Every structure is written in C-alpha cells, then in structure tokens.
C-alpha cells in the first residue's frame, strides 16, 4: 500500500469533478427545491444523490476487487482501460439517448435510483480505477480480498470520493439556489460532457501506460 | 455537434421565456388541397421594422405531393434543461415536419439559412410502419426522451393511434412510446406536465372517418373521440381515462399550464351534438386523480339556412367549431379559435376554473365572412391554428382546418390568409392593421411556429 497522499487527493479531486457535473445531481437538487419551494429539499436531496453515487462507485470497485482475485493486476488494468475507452465512445455517441425513468415527482428513493443510474451510465466508478487499482490491488496481486486488506482501503476510497462529491454538489446547488438563480443555467452551464469524455479516455490510456 | 454553452433559445422557466426577444420569422405549414403541387414550409417576416413585414420571404418545398403538412415542431427546446434528462448543448435548429396524409417525416435545418430551411432528411412511411407500426403523423413535441411524434392510426390505418419516439440528433425512429396503453385507441393531440410526470392525450378518429371529410353518421352516432387519457410520462403506462360525455365530439388541442408546479390545463371540444356549441374543459389534479370541468361554453349562432353549408342547414345555426386553442406563457390568457363563427376569443384564465372573456375579434366565418382592416372583405375560412409569442403581446393565426374538411364547412372554397393580433396590457385584442398575408394559391396555411420558440413549442421543468 502506498503511503503517499496523492491517490487520496486524486480520489477527492475526481469526487469534486463529479459533483460539479449537473448530470450527477446538483441540478436536480436545485430543481426540486424550486419546484417544492423549499430550501430544505435542496439539502435533503443531497443524501440520496450521494448514496446513489456511492453505490454505483462501490459496485464498480467490488467488480474490480473480484476480478483482482482471479487474474493478475495487469489484466485488471487492461480490462478497465478497455472499459473506460469503450464507455467514452458510447457516451460520445449515445449519451443523449437514454431512457428517462425518474421525473420531477421523484421521492428520495427515486432520486437515489436516478443518481445510481446516472453515475453508472456516465462511468463515474470506472473513472476512479487508475487510482484504485494501484492502492487496492498492486500490493496483493491475485490474492483474497481480506488477506491484503483491500476491502477497508476500498471502502475508505469510496468514502473520500463520495464526501468530496457531496461537498461540491452541496456547494454548487446552494450557490445556484441561493445566489445565482435560474439565470445561471443559461449563462454558466458549460458543456462538461466533453471534459467528462476526455477524462474517461485519459483514465483508460493512463492504465494502459501504467 | 454539441455546443459549449446552452442554446440561447432554451429557458429554464416560462417566466424567463416570457422575456425572450420578439420573434422575427414565423414558419408556416402550407399544403395544396388538390395534392398537385408539393406542400411547403413558408417563412413569413414578422419583424415590424422590416421592409418585408407581413410577406412570405422564403419557402421550402417538400419533395413529394399530397403530404398534407399540418402540425410540426422543433428537434429540441427548453425541456433540454430539465435536471433529470438534460441535453442543454443540443441546438434548436431542425423543424420536424410530418405529412398527416402521407405519414412521411421531413427534417428541415433552419440554422444557416433561416429564411429558406434546408431539407436534410426524409423518413418514409415504410420506415415508420416497420419501426413503430404507426401512420398519419400529427403532433410533434420536443421532450425528455427526444422527439415525440404522435400518429392517428397504426400502419394499416386502424386503431390504435399513439406516440413514437425519434432520436433528437440522428432522427432515427426508435419505436412506440407506450408500454401499456390500457383502453386508449384514438389519438389527436398530446402534451405533458413535466412537473407532474404526466402525459395527456386526446382523441379525434381513424383515417377512414376523416380522410374523405367528416362522416355525419359517425359524428351523430358519437363515434368520434370524446375522451382524455392520462399517462405516467416515465413508466409510459396509461393511468386514467376521462370521458367528457356522449354529446361531446372531437376532443382536440391540449394546453397544459406552462408553470411546471401547476397541475391544470385546457382542452377544446369542437362540437356538442345537443346544441352545436363548442366547449373548453379544464383538467386539474384532485388528490391523486385527474378531474375535468367544462369551464367555457360557446353557443351556436342562429342563421338563415340559405347561408349555411349543407351539413349545417338542418340545424339553422352556425356552430362555433373550436378547433384550436393556445395558452399564453404566463398562463394568464387562453386564445380560442372559433373556425365556424369566425371569432378569436381571449379569456383571462387566471382562475382556470372560471375563465372570463377579455377580448374578441371576428374575421371570416361561415356566415359572417368578416373582413380585415388591410384586406377588406368578405373573407372566407375562419380563425384556426393560433400561436402566441413568448412575451404574450402578439397572436398569429391562419384560416384552414384540414383539406378534406374545409369544403364541408366552406363549400365555395377557402382562400388562405394569415393575420396578427396585438394584445393590450391587461387584456383586449385587436388586428395589426399592417399585417395580412394573402396566401398564394394553391396553398392553404395551417400551423405556425415562431423562430426561437412559442407558447405551444416548449415545456419547462423550473417554475
């Protein structure tokens, strides 16, 4: 296990990047607050948004750990890299074409489901793999989860990432709700999809080069 | 290609859309009732400062004849800003133009040459039949899952009609929208309450009962549509049917409140079999069910049978025939087209269950044949497809209903026109004396879409 701080900073940084993306939840929190005329709803919405995101990331991490017990770390990296680049290509081509399952009457459970689906469809968990594979698998290739202590490290990683994501989601949603207002959506809503796709591709190539 | 900033014509809320700049162009569907010349999308200059104000300044012909262009819409609009399904960096640039008779879909690009949109794609009826099993494409709306288009019949011309989805970037037909249609068979219009995850659909009839004109036996037997259907917009399942009653026939245009927190809207019913009156109904949420209430009744006007077309002579009255309605962006004024009597009526619907008339003009009409300050009289046809500017200060309308039905009520023919009303602050409408488009033959004008969006094109997720 690396003693360096940098992987944890990277996980937090990616959490902030995810939180910044309106498709990950801050916009939905703002919309529900405006729709139901309640500041409390904006804050309450953050809980299922963060949980859904964390669950999606956790699912990817579990798959990675599972694969790590079966094959060499290098093979996990190659599989993850291919997934990342494939996800980026799919996102580029078909992201606009998703089935909408949750609408403005969403309750907290619906919002959690929505957040889980959005994080999964966007490959949020996959994007963390270049950081997670070294700290979770490199020390203990092709061994059990428990023996290497991979599980607690993974949980800590998901926790750090989600906390950073939650903090930025909270900051952006309250800034838009309290200060900037809806006009922000017309002016300030820059296209993060391109940056997102680029991040997926960079993460993929990073793993191949590792 | 996606853009960096959201399309400037997208507005998060109707409140903000109402402050949009005034439109300078109007797109108008024009069709040849003889089906000899290609139908067209005409472009009308609506900028009062322009030297070609009130003139057709461009036109894009369809590649075939006999399409019967009718309603149309945009590939993308303000619903792209919705939080649950955002696509803010898509451009509003393509008009989706169906042929109601041909079931052919045309995609026109307005971006580079807004005065002569370029035809960029044609989707043939065979493709729609194969992928969605629908035909007779009618209303187009941009929405959360792409482009929604409804159809009045299945591929063979039978029931059920319904809704299909198109990809809003590639325009590929993706298939039927409905997952569980319940008892719904007939179709006419559809729209939704984005804030309440509800789709609403209305009913006309099957092609065999309108493509050669309305069939009196079907009408008098109350076999045309008289129901509203409510659906879950996201599970795509039918939830509730509301029957207006046996005397009410032809339930047409649906205008939900633009404010997404409001759960009410208006629908027009063309005719009552009891007394030929037309009516407006308000639907509203009552607990976890939808209810409707008749909130406006417009009576028939007694008339000398010699001045009436054969279909009305026995009744000695002219029916108002409410065939289109439109709601201003602030949900304050409802505009009601009475294609039979020739009235365009403005109602204050601040209280949606108690509308108050605040303005009325008359032009054309089966009996009245009223004139226009710029054109004089007599004029035929009557107020029909009506569109309201986003700021609510201008109202545009045309005078043709449907090729096969026009001669049943106007047997001596319809000469197309398009006019504009100015809306007074606090209510009241009057003709813009400078605006009258004497529509060039052989075409007749139908639906109007305003550049950048109008009051029946966009839906909103934020109040």
Predicted confidence band at A95 (pLDDT cuts at 50, 70, 90)?
A: confident
Q: Say which residue the tokens 């469809």 belong to.
A: A121
* pLDDT tens readout for residues B325-383: 999 999 999 999 999 999 999 999 999 999 999 999 999 999 999 999 999 889 999 99
Looking at the partner chain, which of B5, B10, B463 has a beta carbon nearest the beta carbon of A190?
B5
Share of chain B above pLDDT 90, in %: 98
pLDDT above 70 for A141: no
Which CATH number fits the domain that encloses residue B97?
2.130.10.10
For chain B, state the CA radius of gyration: 20
Secondary structure (H, E, C), B295-312: EEEECCEECCHHHCCHHH
Interface check A93 vs B, CB under 8 A: no
Q: How many angstroms separate the Cα of A184 from the Cα of each of A21, A74, A190, B38, B81?
A: 14, 45, 10, 45, 12
Nearest CA in chain A to B11: A186
Task: Report yes or no on A153 lying in a domain.
Answer: yes
* 3-state class percentages of chain B: helix first, strand second, coil last, to nearest 5: 10, 45, 50
Nearest CA in chain B to A25: B83
pLDDT above 50 for A147: no
- A35·B463 Cβ contact <8 A: yes
Task: Report yes or no on A172 lying in a domain.
Answer: yes
Sign for the pseudo-dihedral over CA of B267, B268, B273, B275? positive
pLDDT above 90 for B256: yes
User: Closest by alpha carbon to B401, among B315, B332, B338?
Assistant: B338
A180 contacts in chain B (CB < 8 Å): none
- A102·B234 Cβ contact <8 A: yes
Q: Cα A175–A178–A179 angle (5° rounding)?
A: 70
pLDDT of residue A148: 57
Looking at the partner chain, which of A97, A105, A182 has a beta carbon nearest the beta carbon of B146?
A97
Q: What is the DSSP letter of B454?
A: -
Q: How many domains does one find in chain B?
A: 1
Sign for the pseudo-dihedral over CA of B391, A189, B96, B152? negative
What average pLDDT score do residues A164-170 get? Answer: 98
User: Closest by alpha carbon to B398, among B412, B426, B379, B411?
Assistant: B379
pLDDT of residue B172: 96
User: What is the distance between the alpha carbons of residues A143 and B463, in angstroms, rounded to a whole number?
Assistant: 55
Comparing A62-66, A96-100, B136-140, B349-353, the range with the smallest average pLDDT is A96-100
Residues B252 and B280 sit within 8 Å (Cβ to Cβ): no
Nearest CA in chain B to A188: B5
Task: Report yes or no on A1 lying in a domain.
Answer: no
Q: Quick one: tokens of B93?
A: 């640039």
pLDDT above 90 for B392: yes
- Between helix A26-35 and helix A150-175 the angle, nearest 10°, is 50
pLDDT above 70 for A1: no
Report the gap between the CA of A105 and the closest CA in chain B (Å): 6
Residue B6's Cα: distance from chain center in Å? 27
pLDDT of residue A149: 74
3-state SS assignment for residue B127:
helix
What average pLDDT score do residues B205-234 get? Answer: 97
Q: Which residues, 6 or more positions from B223, have their beta carbon under 8 angstroms from its beta carbon?
A: B205, B209
Interface check A103 vs B, CB under 8 A: yes
Predicted confidence band at A2 (pLDDT cuts at 50, 70, 90)?
A: very low
User: Closest by alpha carbon to B250, among B315, B340, B334?
Assistant: B340
Task: Report yes or no on A11 lying in a domain.
Answer: yes
DSSP string, chain A: ----SHHHHHHHHHHHHHHH-GGGTHHHHHHHHHHTT-HHHHHHHHHHHHHHHHHHHHHHHHHHHHHHHHS-HHHHHHHHHHHHHHHHHHHHHHGGGPPP---TT--HHHHHHHHHHHHHHTTTTGGGHHHHHHHHTTTSTT--TTTTTHHHHHHHHHHHHHHHHHHHHHHHHHHIIIII-THHHHHT----HHHHHHHHHHHHHHHHH-
Sign for the pseudo-dihedral over CA of A185, A187, A192, A193? positive
Task: Report yes or no on B255 lying in a domain.
Answer: yes
Q: How many angstroms separate the Cα of B205 from the Cα of each of A36, A172, B365?
A: 39, 50, 25
pLDDT of residue B234: 96
Please state the φ and ψ torsions of residue B357, each to the nearest 5 degrees. -70, 135
pLDDT of residue A140: 52
Q: Quick one: tokens of B324?
A: 């289109």
pLDDT of residue B152: 98
pLDDT of residue B1: 67
Q: Where are the alpha helices (DSSP H) in B338-438?
A: 406-409
pLDDT of residue B433: 98
User: What is the distance between the alpha carbons of residues A89 and B229, in angstroms, rounded to a whole number?
Assistant: 40
DSSP element (H, E) containing B433:
strand B429-438
Task: Report yes or no on B48 lying in a domain.
Answer: yes
User: What is the distance between the alpha carbons of residues B419 and B364, in angstroms, rounded to a whole number?
Assistant: 11
pLDDT above 60 for A120: yes
Task: Report yes or no on B415 lying in a domain.
Answer: yes
Q: ipTM of the predicted structure?
A: 0.93
pLDDT above 80 for B229: yes
Around Cβ B367, how many Cβ atoms within 10 Å? 18
B4 contacts in chain A (CB < 8 Å): 190-191
Sign for the pseudo-dihedral over CA of B385, B15, A24, A20? positive
- Give residue A168's region: left, alpha or beta (phi > 0; psi -120 to 50): alpha
Residue ranges of E strands in B38-145: 38-45, 56-65, 73-74, 94-98, 105-109, 118-123, 134-143
Task: Report yes or no on A30 lying in a domain.
Answer: yes
Interface check B263 vs A, CB under 8 A: no
Interface test with chain B among A103, A122, A182, A190, by most B beta carbons within 10 Å: A103
Comparing A4-13, B230-239, B298-307, the range with the smallest average pLDDT is A4-13
Please provide the average confidence, as pLDDT, over all residues in chain A.
91
Task: Report yes or no on A161 lying in a domain.
Answer: yes
* pLDDT tens readout for residues B12-69: 999 999 999 999 999 999 999 999 999 999 999 999 999 999 999 999 999 999 999 9
Task: Report yes or no on B148 lying in a domain.
Answer: yes
Task: Report yes or no on B326 lying in a domain.
Answer: yes
Containing structural domain, residue B278 = 14-450
A28 contacts in chain B (CB < 8 Å): 83-84
Interface check B175 vs A, CB under 8 A: no
Looking at the partner chain, which of B10, B81, B89 has a beta carbon nearest the beta carbon of A193?
B89
B80 contacts in chain A (CB < 8 Å): none
Comparing A20-29, A139-148, A169-178, B371-380, the range with the smallest average pLDDT is A139-148
Within chain A, what is the greatest distance between any pair of CA atoms?
53
Predicted confidence band at B191 (pLDDT cuts at 50, 70, 90)?
A: very high
Task: Report yes or no on B294 lying in a domain.
Answer: yes
Containing structural domain, residue A49 = 6-209
Q: Quick one: tokens of B8?
A: 């400037």
Interface check A192 vs B, CB under 8 A: no
What pairing do the DSSP bridges indicate for beta strands B333-338 and B343-348?
Answer: antiparallel
Predicted confidence band at A138 (pLDDT cuts at 50, 70, 90)?
A: low
For chain A, state the CA radius of gyration: 18
Share of chain B above pLDDT 70, in %: 100
User: Closest by alpha carbon to B99, among B45, B44, B40?
Assistant: B40
Task: Report yes or no on B347 lying in a domain.
Answer: yes
pLDDT of residue B238: 98
Task: Report yes or no on B5 lying in a domain.
Answer: no
Residue B422's Cα: distance from chain center in Å? 20
What does pTM read for this prediction? Answer: 0.96
- A187·B5 Cβ contact <8 A: yes
Q: How many domains does one find in chain A?
A: 1
Task: Report yes or no on A78 lying in a domain.
Answer: yes
User: What is the distance between the alpha carbons of residues B29 and B108, in angstroms, rounded to a whole number?
Assistant: 12
């Amino acid at each position: 296990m690396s003693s360096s701080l940098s992987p944890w900073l990277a996980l937090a940084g990616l959490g902030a990047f995810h939180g910044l993306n309106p498709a990950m939840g801050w916009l939905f929190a703002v919309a529900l607050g405006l729709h139901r005329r309640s500041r409390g709803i904006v804050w309450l919405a953050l809980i299922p948004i963060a949980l859904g995101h964390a669950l999606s990331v956790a699912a990817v991490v579990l798959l990675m750990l599972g694969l790590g017990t079966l094959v060499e770390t290098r093979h996990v990296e190659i599989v993850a890299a291919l997934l990342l680049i494939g996800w980026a290509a799919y996102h580029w081509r078909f992201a606009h074409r998703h089935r909408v399952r949750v609408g403005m009457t969403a309750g907290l459970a619906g919002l959690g489901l929505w957040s889980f689906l959005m994080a999964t469809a966007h490959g949020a968990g996959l994007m963390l793999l270049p950081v997670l594979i070294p700290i979770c698998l490199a020390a203990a290739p092709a061994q059990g989860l428990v023996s290497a202590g991979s599980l607690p490290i993974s949980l800590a990683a998901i926790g750090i990432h989600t906390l950073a994501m939650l903090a930025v989601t909270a900051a952006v949603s309250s800034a838009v709700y309290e200060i900037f207002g809806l006009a922000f959506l017309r002016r300030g809503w820059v296209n993060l999809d391109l940056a997102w796709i680029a991040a997926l591709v960079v993460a993929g190539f990073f793993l191949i080069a590792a | 290609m996606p853009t960096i900033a959201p399309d400037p014509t997208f507005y998060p809320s109707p409140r903000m859309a109402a402050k949009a700049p005034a439109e300078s162009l109007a797109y108008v569907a024009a069709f040849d009732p003889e089906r000899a010349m290609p139908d067209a999308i005409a472009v009308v200059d609506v900028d009062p400062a322009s030297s070609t104000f009130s003139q057709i300044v461009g036109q894009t012909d369809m590649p075939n004849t006999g399409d019967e262009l009718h309603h149309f819409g945009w590939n993308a609009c303000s619903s792209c800003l919705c939080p649950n399904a955002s696509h803010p960096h898509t451009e509003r640039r393509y008009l989706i133009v169906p042929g109601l008779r041909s079931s052919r879909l045309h995609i026109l690009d307005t971006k580079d040459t807004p005065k002569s949109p370029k035809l960029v794609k044609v989707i043939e009826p065979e493709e729609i039949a194969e992928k969605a099993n629908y035909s007779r494409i009618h209303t187009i709306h941009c929405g959360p899952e792409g482009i929604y288009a409804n159809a009045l019949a299945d591929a063979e011309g039978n029931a059920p009609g319904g809704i299909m989805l198109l990809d809003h970037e590639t325009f590929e037909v993706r298939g039927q929208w409905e997952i569980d249609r319940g008892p719904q068979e007939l179709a006419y219009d559809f729209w939704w309450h984005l804030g309440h995850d509800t789709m609403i659909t209305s009913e006309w009839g099957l092609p065999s009962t309108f493509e050669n004109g309305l069939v009196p036996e079907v009408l008098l037997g109350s076999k045309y549509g008289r129901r509203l259907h409510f659906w879950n917009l996201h599970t795509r399942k039918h939830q509730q049917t509301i029957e207006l009653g046996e005397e009410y026939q032809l339930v047409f245009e649906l205008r939900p409140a633009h404010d997404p927190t409001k759960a009410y809207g208006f629908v027009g019913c063309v005719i009552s079999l009891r007394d030929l009156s037309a009516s407006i109904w308000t639907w509203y949420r009552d607990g976890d069910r939808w209810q409707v209430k008749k909130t406006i009744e417009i009576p028939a006007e007694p008339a000398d049978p010699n001045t009436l077309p054969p279909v009305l002579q026995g009744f000695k009255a002219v029916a108002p025939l409410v065939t289109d309605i439109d709601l201003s962006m602030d949900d304050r004024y409802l505009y009601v087209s009475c294609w039979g009597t020739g009235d365009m009526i403005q109602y204050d619907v601040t209280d949606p269950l108690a509308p108050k008339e605040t303005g009325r003009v008359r032009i054309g009409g089966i009996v009245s044949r009223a004139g226009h300050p710029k054109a004089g009289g007599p004029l035929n046809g009557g107020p029909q497809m009506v569109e309201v500017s986003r700021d609510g200060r201008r109202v545009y309308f045309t005078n043709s209903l449907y090729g096969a039905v026009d001669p049943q009520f106007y047997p001596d023919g319809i000469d197309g026109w398009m006019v504009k009303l100015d809306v007074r602050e606090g209510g009241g409408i009057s003709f813009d004396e400078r605006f009258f488009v004497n529509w060039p033959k052989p075409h007749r004008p139908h639906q109007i879409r305003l550049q950048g969006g109008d009051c029946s094109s966009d839906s909103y997720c934020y109040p």
